[in-house]
Structure 1
Amino acid sequence: MVLLATLALLASLLSPLPAAADPSDDSGEASTAGLQAKLDEAGRAYNAAAKALQTAQAQQTAGAAQIKTLQAQLATLTKQLDTIAVNLYVNGRTGGLGAVMNSGSPEAYLAQASILNRLSYQNDTAIDRFLSTKAALTRQQSALNQAIAAQQAQLAIMAKRKTDAVNALVAAGGGAAVDGLSATGLPRAARSGPRGDGCSEKDPTNPSGCLTPAGLHMYQEVRAAGFSHYAHCFRQASFGEHPKGRACDFAAAVSDFGGEATGAEKDYGNRLAAWAIANAGPLDVLYVIWFKRIWMPSTGWRSYSGDGTPSGDHRNHVHISVN
C-alpha cells in the first residue's frame, strides 16, 4: 500500500503542468459565451444606430443649407413681385380700346400695349417662381424635421444599447469605467474597408477557416501597420465572432499566446489595442478586449472579467471583433 501511494505521488509530480489556455480553441473564452452574445447584439445595434445618426446629421446639415438658399431666393422673388405690382398700378390694366383712346398715336398705343404685355408676362413668371420656390421650401423644412426626428430616435437607441452593454459587463463581474491606454507613436491610420457578413474570404491564419470581407480587411490592416506577432482568427465554436469570421486574436508574444504579457510584450499589446481603437471607424470595430478591459464605441474602456486564465482574461492577446 505504501509503495502504491508513493508511485501515485511520483506520477502526480511528474505529470506535465496544464498548458495555458489557447484562444485558438474554446478554453479561453467559453466561460464568457453568454456575455459575448449580449455584447455582439448591443454593439452591432449601437454601431448601426451611430451610422444612421451620421446620415441624419448630414441630411440635416444639407437641408439647413438648402433652406437658407431657398429663403434667399424667396426674398428676391418677393421684391420682384412688389416691383411688378407697382408698375401695374402705375400703368394700369387697361384694355385694348382704352389703350387706343388714351394714346396720342398708333406708335404710342403699340408702346403702351407692349409694356402691358411685358408686365403681364413678368408677373405670371414671377408668381410661378415664387409659388414653386415656396413649395420647395415647405418640402425642405419637412425633410429637415424628419431628419431631426431620426436623429432623436437613433440617439435613444444608442443610449439604450450602451446601457445594455454595460449591464451585461456588470452581470459578468466587470463593467466599471477604466482609464484608456497610453500609447505614443502609433502607426498610420487604416483605410476604410469593405462591409458584409458572409464568411467568404480565406483566413491567412487558418487554412481551414474563413473571414468576412471586413474581418480580412481588419487583419490585413493590422499587419500593414507593423503588428507582426502571432495571430489566430477563425475557429470552430458555438459562440462569439470567431466562427463567423469577424474576429482575430493577436498575441502579445512573437510566436504563440503563452502566459501573461509583461514588459515589451505588454507594450506591444497596448499599442495594438490603442491603434485599433484609433481606427475603429475605418476598421468597423465592434469591440476590443485586452488585459481584463474591453473597449466598445458605445462605452469606452470598461473592466472585463474572464475565467482567470491569461487567455480568458485576455492578458496574453488582443481580441478585435468587427461588425
Structure 2
Amino acid sequence: MTAPLYRRVPFTAALAAVTTLLAGLVVATPAAAQDPSDEGAQPLLSDVIESTNRGFVEAKAAVEESRKRQLQLNLELEKVEERLEALTPQIGEVASNSYRLGRITPVMVLLNSASPDDLLDRAEGLDMIAMHDNKRVRELNEAREQAARAVAAIEAEVTREEQQLEVMSRQKKEAEKALQLVGAVATNGFVSATSPVAAQAPRNANGSWPSESCSLDDPTTSGCITPRTMHALNEAKKAGFTRFVSCFRPGGPFEHPKGRACDFSMQSSGFGGDATGDARLYGNNLTAFLVRNADKLGILYVIWYRQFWSPTTGWSSYSGAGGDPSSDHTNHVHLSLL
C-alpha cells in the first residue's frame, strides 16, 4: 500500500464503554523487540475488559434486533388497521341483515313458501346470508385480536430495548471508571471511510455472536484459533494485509490462549522495533480496516501504537506502557475477537 487509507477523526462518546479498560491493560515489564509474546496486561483489567466489552456488544446487538422487530410489528399493525378499516363498514350491513331477517322464523318461512322447492330455496338463501355475515364478524374479531397482539408485542420490544440500553449505559460507566484508574485519554485514533469492506462473519438469528471454541488449526502457528478469528484473518489478507501474523499462544495476556487474538506485524517476517515510514502506514491502514469492519468481524478491541479501540468507547491512549515495541504495540497491531 503506497497511499494513506486513513484519516483522523474526532473521538465520539457515542459508543463509549470498554475499550477504555484497555488503557490500563498495557502496564507490564518490557518484552523483547522481536517477539510480542509478553505484550503486557494487568490480569484484573483484562478480565474487566472481556466481560464489560462483551456485555456492551451483546446489549447493542439486542437493541438493534429489538428495533428491527419493532419495525416489523409496526408494519404488521398498519396492515391490520387497514383491514379493520375495510371490515368495519361491512358490519353495518351485517347489522342490517340481522334486523331484517332476525325475526323470520321457520314457521314464517314455511307459511310463505308456495312449494317445497320454494321452501328449500328460501331456507338456503337465509343460511347463505347468515354464513356470510358470520364470516365477516369473525374476520373483524380476528383482526381486532391481531391488532391487540401487535400492540402488546411492540410495547414488550420497547421495554426490551430500554433494558438493553440501560445495560449499555452501565457497561460504559464501568469502563470509564477503569479508564480513570489508568489515566487513559480519548484520542482521534485511526478511521477510514475508504477501507475495504469485509464479509460478514456468522451471527446467531437474533444478531448476537455465537460462542466459539479454539477448534481450527491456526495457519500462523502450531496452535488453534476460533472460526471467527480465521474469518477475520482471511478477510484481512483478502484486503491486502499479508505481512507476518502470529495468532495462538499457549500463555500470556489477552485472548491469544483462547484462539481469539492475532498480532499483525509490520514486517514481512518477525516483529522488529518501532514501525516507521511504510511500516507505520501499513499499521495505520490495517487498524482503520479493522475498526471500519468491527461489526462484521466481531471485534472485541484493537491496539496499535499506544492507542486502543473498542466498540464501546472508540479510541483512547494508554499510559504506563512498558516502553518497548511489544508492550507499546508499536511494532504490531493487536486484534482481539469476541
Category of TM-score, reference length = shorter chain: 0.7 to 0.9
Q: Which has the higher helix share?
A: 1
CA deviations over 1:226-262 (Å, ceiling 9, x no partner): 1111111111225420111100011123322222212
What corresponds to 1:154 in structure 2? 164
- Aligned residue pairs, count: 300
Cα distance in 2 for residues equivalent to 1:191 and 1:146: 29
**Poorly superposed stretches of 4+, deviation over 4 Å:** 106-112, 182-185
Q: Distance in 1 between matches of 2:50 and 2:153?
A: 33
Of 65, 71, 77, which residue of structure 1 is paired with 2:81?
A: 71
> Percent identity among equivalent residues?
34
Residue of structure 1 equivalent to 2:132: 122
Instruction: Report if the CA contact (8 A) 1:60-1:147 is conserved.
Output: yes
Distance 1:99 1:88 in 2: 16
**Pick from 27, 30, 33: which aligns with 1:20?**
33
Greater Rg, structure 1 or structure 2?
Answer: 1
| Matching residue of 1:314 | 329
**Larger mean Cα displacement after TM superposition, 157-166 or 107-116:** 107-116
Range moving further from structure 2, 212-221 or 71-80: 71-80
What is the distance in 1 between the residues matched to 2:299 and 2:129?
A: 64
Structure 2 distance, partners of 1:182, 1:113, is 79
Single out whichever of 85-94 and 152-161 deviates more from structure 2: 85-94
Partner of 2:219: 204
Q: 1:181 aligns with which of 172, 187, 190?
A: 190
**Alpha-carbon distance in 2 for matches of 1:50, 1:275:** 21
Work out the CA distance in 2 between the residues paired with 1:230 and 1:169.
31
Residue 274 of structure 1 deviates from its aligned partner by 0.5
Pick the aligned partner of 1:81 from 65, 88, 91.
91
State the alpha-carbon separation in 2 of the partners of residues 146 and 157 from structure 1.
17
Q: CA deviation at 1:278?
A: 1.2
Distance 1:193 1:124, change over 3 A: closer
TM-score relative to the length of structure 2: 0.81
Letter in 2 for 1:205: T
2:243 corresponds to 1:232: no
- Gaps in structure 2 of 5+ consecutive residues: 1-30, 204-209
Change (3 A) 1:190 1:304: farther
Asked which structure has the greater RCO (Cα within 8 Å, sep 6+), the reply is: 2
- Root-mean-square deviation over aligned CA pairs: 2.3
- Quick check: 2:40–2:253 contact (8 Å CA) kept in 1? no
Instruction: Give the Å deviation of 1:33.
Output: 3.3
Task: Specify the SS of the correspondent of 1:199.
Answer: coil
**Could you tell me which amino acid in structure 2 is paired with residue 189 of structure 1?**
A
Distance 1:92 1:193 in 2: 62
- Cα shift at 1:37: 2.0
